């Protein structure tokens, strides 16, 4: 498996979605709601600014081949696919059966992404990660519960359980008759497992770093944007970002990169929104032409999980389980 769930397989066959009895009164299904939530999270990550080294409405960060409109075009192309990625979970498919289905549609998503962006890879890593979260959300909601970040993360990782052992460890014995991917080379040289390992472990970056940082900053009075920046910094400090390690080198990642991220986290005060505290980190990343795209993908996943597990009464998923309907204003009505 590459760092995405998409192999060279045929297009997925149409699978009839049984109308969910817990659908809201308007007939909107859980598949549609989850797809909308994923689309919103994808767009929200793009708009967070200023993201050190990353594309945002301010500028293109370390990239020369894309800007924020490229990402918006990609997000629009992916939007129709997110809901169907929740379908295997909603229909109760076990993890081993779900992964081939996620991979099939994931390949279609990559095709549509490249068509929309003119061949630029904007969201390949996110297609992999968020598809797993959608499976977990669908599977959990099917059982009539929301669960916790830990249980949801573990379920998200279940379709790829054992992938590091199966796909990376054999490389230490026999090399494939093809050029190694960046991820394979990083594993052989430094033991880096990247997004594979993150997913297989139940997305600890999202569960234990991104989500707590987001909620803590928001509770302290930070804006949505600056709470998301706090979450991004937390993710940058914890995840094995293959983009950073490949472009900057392993010594750069374990040294200047993580040191400057730690300084930025210490200096940035989300309620104040002192964005100038992020400038030294941004300058370092630009100087090395390093973009922390892996952390950005996990931020989008964090922005998906946060509202999904929100305890607020207006959470539409909680409304559904109470047998309530979703009102036009987005609240709950008995």
Please report which confidence band the pLDDT of residue 25 belongs to, taking 50, 70 and 90 as the band edges. very low
Indicate if the pLDDT at residue 272 is higher than 50. Answer: yes
Please report which confidence band the pLDDT of residue 20 belongs to, taking 50, 70 and 90 as the band edges. very low
Indicate if the pLDDT at residue 90 is higher than 90. Answer: yes
The total number of structural domains that make up the chain: 1
128 part of a folded domain: yes
291 part of a folded domain: yes
* pLDDT tens-digit map of 124-134: 999 999 999 99
Long-range contacts of 102-105 (CB under 8 A, 24+ apart): 102/5, 102/131, 102/132, 102/135, 102/159, 103/1, 103/5, 103/6, 103/7, 103/9, 104/6, 104/9, 104/10, 104/11, 104/12, 105/12, 105/81, 105/131
41 phi, psi to nearest 5 deg: -65, -40
> Cβ(136)–Cβ(152) under 8 Å?
yes
| CA dihedral of 3, 206, 147, 86, whole degrees rounded to 10 | -30
Run of H or E including 135: helix 124-142
How far, in Å, CA of 267 to CA of 252, rounded? 21
Query: Would you give the DSSP letter of residue 333?
Result: E
Residues 6+ apart with CB under 8 A from 303: 40, 41, 44, 45, 214, 228, 231
Query: Would you give the DSSP letter of residue 122?
Result: S
20 part of a folded domain: no
- Give the residue carrying structure tokens 């990559």: 110
* pLDDT tens-digit map of 134-189: 999 999 998 887 889 999 999 999 999 999 988 899 989 888 899 988 888 999 99
Two tokens, residue 259: 């040191």
Q: What is the pLDDT of residue 181?
A: 87
- The domain in which residue 176 lies consists of 30-333
CA distances from 197 to 21, 103, 251, 317 (A): 36, 17, 20, 30
51 part of a folded domain: yes
Long-range contacts of 209-214 (CB under 8 A, 24+ apart): 209/234, 209/235, 209/237, 209/238, 209/239, 210/234, 210/235, 210/298, 210/299, 210/301, 210/302, 211/149, 211/302, 211/305, 211/306, 214/302, 214/303, 214/306
Please report which confidence band the pLDDT of residue 2 belongs to, taking 50, 70 and 90 as the band edges. very low
Angle formed at CA 157 by CA 12 and CA 213, multiple of 5 degrees: 120
132 part of a folded domain: yes
22 part of a folded domain: no
Q: What is the pLDDT of residue 319?
A: 67
10 part of a folded domain: no
Query: Would you give the DSSP letter of residue 14?
Result: P
Q: What is the pLDDT of residue 199?
A: 97
Q: Say what percent of the chain tops pLDDT 90.
A: 75
327 part of a folded domain: yes
* pTM for this prediction: 0.87
Q: Which of 87-91, 179-183, 263-267 shows the lowest mean pLDDT across its residues?
A: 179-183
Give CA 137 to chain center in angstroms.
13
Indicate if the pLDDT at residue 314 is higher than 80. Answer: no
């Amino acid at each position: 498996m590459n760092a995405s769930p998409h192999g060279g397989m045929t297009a997925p066959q149409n699978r009839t979605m049984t109308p969910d009895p817990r659908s809201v009164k308007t007939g909107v299904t859980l598949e549609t709601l989850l797809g909308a939530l994923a689309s919103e999270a994808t767009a929200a990550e793009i708009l967070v600014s200023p993201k050190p080294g990353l594309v945002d409405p301010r500028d293109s960060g370390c990239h020369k081949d894309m800007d924020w409109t490229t990402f918006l075009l990609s997000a629009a192309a992916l939007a129709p696919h997110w809901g169907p990625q929740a379908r295997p979970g909603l229909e109760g498919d076990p993890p081993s059966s779900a992964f081939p289905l996620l991979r099939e549609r994931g390949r279609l998503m990559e095709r549509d992404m490249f068509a929309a962006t003119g061949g630029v890879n904007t969201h390949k890593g996110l297609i992999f990660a968020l598809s797993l979260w959608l499976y977990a959300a669908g599977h959990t909601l099917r059982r009539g519960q929301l669960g916790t970040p830990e249980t949801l993360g573990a379920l998200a990782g279940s379709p790829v359980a054992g992938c590091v052992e199966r796909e990376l460890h054999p490389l230490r014995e026999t090399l494939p008759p093809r050029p190694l991917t960046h991820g394979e080379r990083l594993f052989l040289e430094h033991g880096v497992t990247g997004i594979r390992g993150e997913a297989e472990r139940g997305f600890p970056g999202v569960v234990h770093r991104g989500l707590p940082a987001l909620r803590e900053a928001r509770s302290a009075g930070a804006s949505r944007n600056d709470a998301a920046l706090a979450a991004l910094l937390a993710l940058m400090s914890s995840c094995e970002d293959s983009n950073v390690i490949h472009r900057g080198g392993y010594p750069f990642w374990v040294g200047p990169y993580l040191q400057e991220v730690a300084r930025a986290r210490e200096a940035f005060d989300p309620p104040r929104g002192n964005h100038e505290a992020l400038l030294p980190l941004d300058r370092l990343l630009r100087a090395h032409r390093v973009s922390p795209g892996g952390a950005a993908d996990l931020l989008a996943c964090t922005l998906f999980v946060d509202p999904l597990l929100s305890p607020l009464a207006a959470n539409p998923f909680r409304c559904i389980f109470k047998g309530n309907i979703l009102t036009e204003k987005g609240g709950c009505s008995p």
